Amino acid sequence: MTLGETDILDPGLSIHPSTNLTRTMIHPCVDPPLCDNCTRLELSFFDPLCPDCRNILLNPSTTVPQIFAIMRQWTPQTQQSLELLVDEILKRGANINDRDGLTDMTLLHYASKSGAAGIGDPDSAVRIVTMLLDAGADVNIRCRWTNMTALHYAAYFDVVPVLKILLKATKALGTCFLLLTDLFLSQIPPTSSLTPTTSFWNFLSGLIVFLA
């Protein structure tokens, strides 16, 4: 697929053949572009729903750093258009684990929080995260500024459907089970004959079933 072959995101949001699957990079920090009409209206953000802004986005000369700059905008118009933004970045040959030079966030980081209530679209976030994971996105990458992984962002912004996917991808359910068990057992004196109760195991099992 070339840059000019499509202006609309494929429904399946599949990985592009042009995507760089080997070398990662940190893209330089730039400002988001803005169309002349939005500039005249003194709007302060790039609006993917504006026809002129959208034309800028779909123009092959618009760079990956510029699209990352658009992604940083915490507006409903941007977050609900993240599928298109991710698609345009990958069409330009970016690596699935490339980072934004300002936030140090990857596409997976951005996608994981894009389903936040009142701002984003949880269903879209699930589709993007699933595609990125299938394409080899690294769930263990931490933002150097916040020390947060995609899982942390999904939890912080309360994007439960994405959180469930990332828990499975990181095998965090098993870790959670072991940590809670260790915590329980650490409260029992070494000489005690007390063992974990049925209710305790039911609680852990229920938690895993809920998150699975």
| Between 194 and 1, residue with greater pLDDT | 194
| Between 155 and 104, residue with greater pLDDT | 104
Which pLDDT belongs to residue 171? 72
| Between 33 and 175, residue with greater pLDDT | 33
Which pLDDT belongs to residue 169? 87
| Between 206 and 40, residue with greater pLDDT | 40
Residue 147 and residue 188: Cα distance in Å, rounded? 33
pLDDT above 90 for 23: no
User: In the Cβ-directed half-sphere of 57, how many Cα atoms lie within 13 Å?
Assistant: 30
Which pLDDT belongs to residue 13? 47
Summarised one tens digit per residue, pLDDT across range 158-208 is 999 998 899 888 876 556 655 555 555 555 555 555 455 555 555 555 555
Which residues, in sequence order, are CB contacts of 108 under 8 Å at separation 6+?
A: 97, 129, 132, 133, 137, 138, 139, 141, 150
Mean pLDDT of the chain: 81
Summarised one tens digit per residue, pLDDT across range 2-12 is 333 323 333 34
Q: What is the DSSP string of 155-184?
A: HHTT-HHHHHHHHHHTTHHHHHHHHHHHHH
Residue 49: closest CA among 65, 62, 37: 37
CATH topology of domain 36-173: 1.25.40
Summarised one tens digit per residue, pLDDT across range 85-139 is 999 999 999 999 999 999 999 999 999 999 999 999 999 999 999 999 999 999 9
Tokens at residue 34, please? 């803005």
pTM (two decimals): 0.74
Q: Where are the domains of the chain?
A: 36-173
At residue 90, the 3 state secondary structure works out as helix
